């Protein structure tokens, strides 16, 4: 499905993504949720997802839903930017504008031993709320190249390997790829690294989250996004 077919959304600065996810949640039907739930279950239980055709078959068999309805719902989820397919259109590439099915530099290790990958550092903070599992996340500061580790449980950061980890949350303009926005939202080893990166990227609009705000403001934003994505998944469990 081409980029031109993807829905757009009115830009609202740092509130655009939250408003977008809210709107999608209100618009989805049971078949949409069944598809997203099956994919979320595969991610959190296996760490990989079957090809598109196999997921469609499973939803048809489990729910007794007409195949054409499932295929239509799948296409609608792609159009709504909640699923990304690969170039062959036979495999899933991305999930909910956040999770990558390919290995990236941003890894979330779930409490059951499964690794999940995201498109950006800030997205790691939302995995606990999205999948409802304690998680240890790993990223690398793009400036200092230091490895960063945070342990998140009950929607709070309970441990870090470096004090003062900061972040940057890029704004979404309502039309570009959500995955591209996530990739422009890194975590940093300290405030100096974040400030240097921001100076080097003056055209990227977003919110700076110094170390004294990341664990509060940053995590609140991550919790909100994670809760909205969990609602999209539906009855995951």
Sequence-separated (6 or more) residues with CB below 8 Å from residue 129: 155, 222, 223, 225, 226, 227, 229, 230
pLDDT for position 235: 53
**What residue segments make up the domains of the chain, in order of their start?**
12-237
Average of per-residue pLDDT across 204-211: 96
pLDDT for position 3: 43
Query: Does residue 65 or residue 225 have the better pLDDT?
Result: 225
CATH placement of domain 12-237? 3.30.450.410
pLDDT for position 63: 75
pLDDT for position 237: 43
Phi, psi of 110 (to 5 degrees): -75, 165
Concatenate the DSSP letters of all residues of 152-206 into one string.
Answer: EETTEEEEESSTT-EEEEE---SSS-HHHHHHT--EESSHHHHHHHHHH-TT--E
Average of per-residue pLDDT across 62-69: 87
What does the mean pLDDT of the chain come to?
Answer: 93
> What is the pTM for the complete model shown?
0.92
Is it the case that residue 167 has pLDDT exceeding 80? Answer: yes
Extract the tokens encoding 196. 């240097």
Strand partners, 157: 152
pLDDT for position 14: 87
Decide: helix, strand or coil at residue 120.
coil
């Amino acid at each position: 499905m081409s980029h031109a077919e993807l829905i757009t959304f009115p830009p609202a600065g740092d509130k655009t993504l939250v408003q977008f996810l809210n709107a999608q949640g209100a618009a989805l039907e049971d078949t949409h949720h069944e598809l997203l739930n099956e994919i979320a279950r595969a991610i959190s239980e296996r760490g990989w997802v079957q090809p598109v055709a196999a997921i469609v078959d499973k939803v048809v068999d489990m729910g007794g839903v007409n195949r054409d309805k499932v295929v239509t719902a799948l296409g609608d989820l792609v159009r709504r930017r909640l699923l990304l397919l690969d170039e062959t259109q036979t495999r899933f590439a991305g999930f909910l504008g956040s999770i990558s099915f390919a290995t990236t530099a941003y890894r979330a290790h779930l409490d059951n031993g499964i690794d999940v990958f995201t498109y950006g550092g800030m997205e790691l903070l939302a995995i606990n709320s999205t999948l409802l599992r304690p998680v240890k996340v790993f990223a690398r500061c793009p400036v200092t190249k230091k490895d960063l580790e945070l342990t998140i449980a009950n929607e709070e950061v309970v441990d870090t390997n470096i004090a003062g980890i900061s972040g940057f949350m890029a704004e979404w303009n309502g039309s570009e790829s959500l995955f591209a926005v996530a990739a422009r939202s890194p975590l940093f080893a300290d405030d100096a690294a974040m400030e240097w990166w921001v100076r080097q990227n003056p055209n990227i609009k977003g919110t700076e989250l110094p170390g004294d705000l990341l664990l509060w403001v940053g995590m609140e934003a991550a919790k909100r996004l994670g809760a909205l994505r969990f609602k999209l998944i539906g009855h995951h469990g």
